[in-house]
Amino acid sequence: MSAAADERAGGRGRVRPAVPRALITLAPVDLVVVGSGVAGLTAVLEARSLGLSTLVVTKGDLPDGSTHWAQGGIAVVLDQAGTGDTVEAHVCDTIVAGAGLCDEDAVRAILADGPDAVRRLRRRGALFDPGTEGGLARTREGGHSAFRVIHAGGDATGEEVERVLVESARADQTAILPHHTAVGVCRDELGVTGVELLDDGGARVVVPASAVLLATGGLGGLYAATTNPPVATGDGLALALRAGARLADVEFVQFHPTALWTGRRDGQRPLVTEAVRGEGGVLVDHTGARVMAGVHPLADMAPRDVVATAITRRLADTGADHVWLDATGLDDFAARFPTVYASCLAVGVDPARDPIPVTPAAHYLCGGIAVDLDGRTDVPGLYAAGEVARTGLHGANRLASNSLLEGLVTGTRAAHTIARERRTAAAPVVADTPAVRQLVDRKALQRLASTRLALGRDAAGLDEVDALLDAAAPVAVTTPGLASGAALGLVARALSSAARTRSETRGCHVRTDAPATREAWRRSVPVELADPADDTSLRTPTPTGACP
């Protein structure tokens, strides 16, 4: 079977050994950024301002990542005196949402840097919606105790952030390599030496570099229904593991409570921003009964894990495919939420007159590559920022609209750290033939992950996931599609391993066979490869010490 045929078959069967291909080696740079969302572009712009030579590598075109789809806004306290809100209140809300696993030092540092990060973005030209009495308009989302979420274009904040960063990168003549997939971080005994890529035609490309920043986003592609774009296949997580870095807390996958139900059971789902509930929308079932009544003191404005779990349970009890978000009482819905309005009209729903059909969908990875506050992994020269990184900000459940802020802050911090630690890299050493990886049937994995690795896990379901992964065939990775499929398999294995290890329910990790939250598990669960060349050698070292 050819590699192309194997890719179409989703990994069933085996392929002949790949014919070695010539390597194309590009000019060396100080920093390669893998990913072109808010964290990656912020980092590269800052790095260039500090005098570093850089290259941005992206799987598709610049607008293809998750940043574009972020609707709600940026949670930030810009004017403590004028609003009555404080950074300390934002810190407290974040820690409460994180269900005991936030790193308080990281929370305080990132949120304290937030106002300056937003000001820098505005100086680059970002236009946020103005308030009625001067200043910026603010809304409130689930888990927040104040109206502190600023937004752009009503519900198109991510699109505006992306626009500004992309235009800034182009104006700065930032070197960008589109349609290239990173398949390996090159390193020697001293650390990173570069990155290996595949272009869309399968040609192998090597970029020598003294530092690599992974900013590849999340793993929504592991699930049949997600708010993420198709490029979110966990590539950065797999790259980090194979380079010898650790992941942490990858069992915490946040499901957004209100993705638009379109009648399809797979693919990317339009998001219905939490701000709709923040401004008065309520969740009801098919009988009109309030879904969140008596579930949490904040009712419809409870943290996302609470709301998503409540909806999932209501669907299980009623046998329905979705619940309803009733926003018919909101004034001028089309003007305030134009993106949501257009998505609803496309499926025959007018939110001004009709309740919106919604259901939870895979949305955000709260854990990721274990990094410190400056983006360092435990591999010298390898950094990570944004959703792919586990900074400790989100803990067991992300507070709404903290993600864009985290990308802006951590991308900047990583760039400054890389500039301080700049070194001359050795020449990359790359294997003569493509790596051989386990490749699972992607559709089968998505179907199984959507029931066994979603909201409600148990040991028997994790056994099913592991059995599917263990049956995967070894395949030489010669195309971007094969590379992404192999990354998804490794990420699924890491998630299953962490979920099995954490024998409790906490935040957005729900174990139906271990429903209690246990103080003994108030700690991170690390995941690593015992042998970076063997994707099946995952292990979860015994966690020690409580999370700060």
Does residue 304 carry a catalytic annotation? yes
Query: What pLDDT is attached to residue 537?
Result: 94
Q: Report how far apart the first and last C-alpha atoms of the chain are (Å, whole number).
A: 52
* Predicted model pTM: 0.90
Q: Any idea what DSSP says for residue 62?
A: G
Contact 449, 222 (CB under 8 A): yes
| Cα 352 from Cα 329, distance rounded (Å) | 8
Q: Worst-scoring range by mean pLDDT, 429-443, 485-499, 509-523?
A: 429-443
The pLDDT, as a whole number, for residue 429 is: 84
Question: What is the H or E stretch that residue 468 is in?
Answer: helix 459-470
* Residue range 334-357, pLDDT digits in tens: 988 988 999 999 999 999 999 999
User: Which pLDDT belongs to residue 264?
Assistant: 74
Is a pLDDT exceeding 50 seen at residue 13? Answer: no
Q: Given this model, what pLDDT does residue 134 score?
A: 73
Q: Which CATH architecture has domain 253-362?
A: Alpha-Beta Complex (3.90)
Is the pLDDT at 167 greater than 60? The verdict is: yes
Please report the DSSP string for 159-194 in residue order. HHHHHHHHHHHHHTT--EE-SEEEEEEEEETTEEEE
Phi (first) and psi of residue 212, to 5 degrees: -130, 130
Q: How far is CA 492 from CA 410, 438, 446, 470, 525, in A?
A: 26, 12, 10, 11, 15
Give the pLDDT of residue 65: 67
Which parts of 172-267 fold into alpha helices (H)? 235-243
Does residue 466 contact residue 493 with C-beta atoms inside 8 Å?
yes
Residue 320: CB partners within 8 Å, gap ≥ 6?
A: 285, 286, 314
**Which candidate, 532, 276, 250, 518, places its Cα nearest to that of 382?**
532
Question: Which token pair is 209?
Answer: 């570099």
User: Which residue has tokens 């100080």?
Assistant: 30
- In DSSP terms, 23 is beta-bridged to 204
Q: How many helices (H) and strands (E) are present in the chain, helices listed first? A: 15, 24
- Greatest CA span in the chain, whole angstroms? 68
Residue 354 sits at the vertex; the CA angle it makes with 353 and 360, to the nearest 5 degrees, is 145
Q: Which two tokens stand for residue 504?
A: 């409790």
* The one catalytic residue among 304, 422, 442, 452: 304
Percent pLDDT > 90 in the chain is 74
